[in-house]
Each structure stands twice: as structure tokens, then as C-alpha cells.
């Protein structure tokens, strides 16, 4: 009788351990990318000691100048800084950290609530999800048309 009780007790402990460990497991790595994919608009930051406030960035957007980050499906990325685009890539490292690579340089950004925050060499850039401003898209189209040779 004692042996049967020990076996049942051990099985119950093993089952409880399996349930506990399954509850601690995070989401599959493939789902982490969904946390980052989409368009991110710069809302504030500090670069080279200069602070970019929401007001300053709103004024720049009115002039068709903005800073945004596109994290596309499949890992491609575009960083647009005041009308100049840089192509790159991104990889979700976990549910709150993404690695961004542009021009051979990599940086990490983390989700902090609703913001994607990138910090590197004392600079901080804070992005929020949003739509790329139409004025920025129009400026980019105008630049692309000007760059195309006429036939």
C-alpha cells in the first residue's frame, strides 16, 4: 500500500511540475515578431544632446519632414529620417526586444508600454505605432520622381 501511495504521489508531483513549467513558457518565437511589425513614428528623443519634443516633431511633419521606422513582414526594415530612407533588417529577439540593422550597424530597441525605445551611445529615440504621415509619403514620392531620369 505504501508503494502505491508513493507512485501516485510522484505521478501527481510530476504532473504538477509539467503544468507549472508549461505556464512559465513564453509565446513561440515566431509570435514575437507581431509585437514589432508595422509603422513606428518618432515621438520624442535626444540625439547628440539635442532634444526633439513632440511639438518640434509635429512642426517638422507639417513641413513634410518626419522620422519613422517601418518593420515589414519577413524582416526587412526602412528607417526614414527627414526624407532620407535607409534600408535594413530586423529580428525579434524576444517579446520585448528587437534587433535593428542599418548600414552594417546593429542596435536593440525595447518595448516599454506603447513605445519602442532605441538607446545607443547616449542617444534615445522613442517611437509609437502610427501611420506614416501623408506629407512624408508625398515628399518621398517627389524625391523619387526627381531622381528618375527622363526618357
pLDDT surpassing 50 at residue 49: yes
120 contacts: CB under 8 Å, gap ≥ 6: 107
Spell out the alpha helix ranges (H) of the chain.
2-24, 29-32, 54-62, 134-147
Q: The C-alpha cell of 106 is what? A: 546593429
Q: Is residue 67, in this structure, part of any structural domain at all?
A: yes
More confident residue, 11 or 85: 85
- Output the domain CATH number for residue 130: 2.40.128.280
Number of domains in the chain: 1
In a domain, 5, yes or no: no
Candidates 39, 55, 61, 53; CA nearest to 130 is 39
Report d(CA 80, CA 32) in Å as an integer: 24
Give me the pLDDT at residue 119, please. Answer: 87
Query: Does residue 39 lie within any of the structural domains?
Result: yes
Residue 10 lies in a domain: no
Q: What is the pLDDT of residues 63-75, one digit of tens each?
A: 778 889 999 999 9
pLDDT in tens, 121-137: 888 999 999 888 665 54
Q: Which domain holds residue 138?
A: 33-146
Amino acid at each position: 500500500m505504501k508503494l502505491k501511495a508513493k507512485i501516485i504521489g510522484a505521478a501527481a508531483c510530476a504532473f504538477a511540475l509539467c503544468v507549472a513549467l508549461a505556464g512559465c513558457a513564453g509565446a513561440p518565437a515566431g509570435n514575437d515578431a507581431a509585437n514589432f511589425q508595422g509603422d513606428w513614428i518618432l515621438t520624442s528623443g535626444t540625439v547628440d544632446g539635442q532634444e526633439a519634443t513632440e511639438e518640434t516633431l509635429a512642426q517638422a511633419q507639417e513641413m513634410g519632414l518626419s522620422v519613422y521606422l517601418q518593420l515589414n513582414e519577413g524582416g526587412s526594415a526602412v528607417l526614414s529620417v527627414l526624407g532620407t530612407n535607409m534600408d535594413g533588417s530586423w529580428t525579434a529577439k524576444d517579446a520585448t526586444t528587437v534587433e535593428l540593422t542599418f548600414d552594417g550597424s546593429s542596435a536593440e530597441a525595447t518595448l516599454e508600454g506603447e513605445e519602442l525605445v532605441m538607446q545607443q551611445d547616449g542617444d534615445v529615440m522613442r517611437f509609437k505605432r502610427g501611420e506614416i504621415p501623408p506629407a512624408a509619403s508625398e515628399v518621398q514620392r517627389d524625391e523619387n520622381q526627381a531622381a528618375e531620369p527622363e526618357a
